[in-house]
Amino acid sequence: MLTCREMSELGSDIIESHLSLRTRLAVLMHLRMCSRCKLYIKQLRLTSDVLQRLPFQDETVDSQAILKKLQTPDQ
Ligand SMILES: [Zn+2]
């Protein structure tokens, strides 16, 4: 079973579907019982969509870096 911390570490991999089937199942199971992570992934997905629609080139906006920042709100 995944912890909430592991979920936040997986963050961008989850929304970009860079997960093995096994991990994806573990993520889905966690999301079913954890409304906090559900909301977190939802927001991450929304943010990712917005970033992809921005009219910037990869050199000016590092969306991965922004997503990483979002994943560590304590810093
Ligand atoms: Zn959770």
3-62 per-position pLDDT tens digit:
999 999 999 899 888 899 999 999 999 999 999 999 999 999 998 888 888 776 555 667
**Where in the sequence is the domain holding 39, given as residue range(s)?**
4-69
**What is the b/e burial string over 9-42, where b = at least 16 CB atoms within 10 angstroms of the residue's CB?**
ebbbebbeeeeeeeeeebbeebbeebeebeebbe
Asked if residue 75 belongs to a domain, the reply is no
Phi and psi at residue 61, to the nearest 5°: -125, 120
Task: Name every residue whose Cβ is closer than 8 Å to that of residue 27 and which is 6 or more positions away in sequence.
Answer: 2, 7, 10, 14, 19
52 C-alpha to ligand 1 centroid (Å): 26
pLDDT at 56 (0 to 100): 61
Asked if residue 44 belongs to a domain, the reply is yes
Name the DSSP letter for residue 57. Answer: -
Name the DSSP letter for residue 73. Answer: T
54 C-alpha to ligand 1 centroid (Å): 29
35 C-alpha to ligand 1 centroid (Å): 7
- Provide the number of structural domains found in the chain: 1
